[in-house]
Amino acid sequence: MEIKVLGPGCAKCKATADLITRVAGETGKDVTIDKVEDMRQIVGFGVMTTPAVVVGDKVVHKGSVPSHDQVLSWLN
Amino acid sequence: MSADITTSRPTPRPDWFWHLSLIAFVAGWWVIYRQLIPFSEFVTGLFPVDRHSHTGEAIAFFFYDVPKVMMLLTLIVFAMGVVRSFFSPERTRALLAGKREGVGNVMAAGLGVMTPFCSCSAVPLFIGLVSAGVPLGVTFSFLISAPMVNEVALALLFGLVGWKVALTYFAFGLGVAIVAGWVIGKLHLEGWLQDWVRDIHSGATAPDETEGEKLTMVDRYRLGIEAVREIFGRVWMWIILGIGMGALIHGYVPEDLMARIMGADAWWSVPAAVVIGIPMYTNAAGVIPIVEALLGKGAALGTVLAFMMSVIALSLPEMIILKQVLTLRLIAVFVGVVGSGILAVGYLFNFLF
């Protein structure tokens, strides 16, 4: 499955991508993470705060580093 | 931040436990806060220096101000964290969309204080507001007030300089945001946005998938605690550095030096303070202890406020971020208008006080 992390390369955006990678590794799920740093694409998703997470075509989270449990729930 | 607290809750405590803890915390806070002067005198007494020497003064200043500022910051940031949990950028957008200028500017400046905001989200926020039909000037009122009137600045001003100055800063920070935004709106500069920004109208109507969770009061406490943790992680070093610098100024800089350079009589000092403030990029935590020390050495209040506002509201890194959505001409107008507002505040204060 593909997960997009939206954010212009800020520290929290990186932390979010790293967390998803780690959780994916723990669960053994095959996840590709796509870091979207281009502002035009980011605002195209309609988010106003970053980092935001897109699973499929849905924005599932925005404005903060998600929790471990949240990431788990997206992977399942 | 709004979501990660609802999912992980290993052993839920009853709500009354949280309310009682909060009351106990505030009571304990008050008791400790009252003991800070004896504490600082005690610590200073441990150093092998004369209490009334320069070094003694500097040490006492440092050990009084650091704990005091840290404590005030904890309380105010926590309170703001709880208040902000009632607001979100999406809600702000809904409130501001279609508002006329004037009323819209006032609301936007107020919401700028209340809405959770991080300068790294300035661009998507800006586009989110503009594309939803919030007038450009109203958007600017928000963008000016959000960083300038923040709880860290207010907590530090309150703790180090006094509540009168804190209140004044609050009122005039909002004032500059309202008037500057209104002026920018009157200039009708929508054409000076970057081309791609004008073409976006998508974000406004996208349904919000992450909304819909109801926060309990305890969730809001947690958000407040989270805010304290995050802000402390970011500013503690600045506070110690800033107060350290302030302590040195306090102990060693001659009394009337600043009165000559930054006093009310030196008319050029206000514009100089604004210009010097632009390339300086620090947060309120770093600059306010220095401000306090300068005031103590005879610098004029208006000059110092202008310097502070300029450092916080007009920063080069923020302009570089905004360059993605604004043309250079529009950024120049932004700096010009906000800078003039700050100048006016500086002169007004030097004249009044």
**pLDDT tens, residue by residue, B179-199:** 999 999 999 888 888 888 877
Which of A34-43, A44-53, B8-17, B47-56 comes out lowest in average pLDDT? Answer: B8-17
User: What number is the average pLDDT over the span B254-276?
Assistant: 76
In chain A, residues with a C-beta closer than 8 Å to the C-beta of B93 are 48
> Which residues in chain A (33-72) have CB-CB distances under 8 A to chain B?
39-40, 42-50, 58-70
Q: pLDDT, tens digit, for every residue of B98-141?
A: 788 889 999 999 999 888 777 778 888 888 888 888 899 999 99
Of chain B, the percentage scoring pLDDT greater than 70 comes to 90
Which of A9-13, B99-103, B147-151 comes out lowest in average pLDDT? Answer: A9-13
**Are A58 and B209 within 8 A, CB to CB?**
yes
Mutate to test the interface with A, among B115, B121, B230 (most CBs of A within 10 A): B121
pLDDT at B305: 86
Q: Is B98 left (phi over 0), alpha (psi -120 to 50) or beta?
A: left
Mean pLDDT (chain B, rounded): 83
pLDDT at B213: 57
- Contact of A8 with chain B, judged by CB distance below 8 Å, is answered with yes
Per the CB < 8 A criterion, the answer to whether A60 and A50 are in contact is no
CA distance B20 to A76: 38
Query: Does the pLDDT at position B206 exceed 50?
Result: no
Number of domains in chain A: 1
CA distance B107 to B99: 9
**Are A42 and B204 within 8 A, CB to CB?**
no
Q: Give the CATH number of the domain where residue A59 resides.
A: 3.40.30.10
CA distance B52 to B30: 29
Question: Which residue range forms the structural domain that includes residue A18?
Answer: 2-75
SS (H, E, C) chain B: CCCHHHHCCCCCCCHHHHHHHHHHHHHHHHHHHHCHHHHHHHHHHHCCCCCCCHHHHHHHHHHHHHHHHHHHHHHHHHHHHHHHCCCCHHHHHHHHCCCCCCHHHHHHHHHHHHCCCCHHHHHHHHHHHHHCCCCHHHHHHHHHHHHHCCHHHHHHHHHHCCHHHHHHHHHHHHHHHHHHHHHHHHCCCHHHECHHHHCCCCHHHCCCCCCCCCCCHHHHHHHHHHHHHHHHHHHHHHHHHHHHHHHHHHHHCCCCHHHHHHCCCCCCHHHHHHHHHCCCCCCHHHHHHHHHHHHHCCCCHHHHHHHHHHHHHCCHHHHHHHCCCECHHHHHHHHHHHHHHHHHHHHHHHHHC
The reply to whether ipTM tops 0.95 is no
In chain B, residues with a C-beta closer than 8 Å to the C-beta of A43 are 123-124, 127-128, 131, 200, 202-203
Which letter, b or e, does each residue of B127-142 get, where b requires 16 or more Cβ atoms within 10 Å of its Cβ? Answer: bbbbbbebbbbbbbbb
Mean pLDDT (chain A, rounded): 86
**Closest to A59 (Cβ–Cβ): which among B93, B125, B210?**
B210
Q: Determine the residue type at B127.
A: I
Nearest-10 crossing angle of helices B217-252, B54-84: 160
**Are B1 and A64 within 8 A, CB to CB?**
yes
In chain B, residues with a C-beta closer than 8 Å to the C-beta of A40 are 196, 200
Query: Does the pLDDT at position A37 exceed 70?
Result: yes
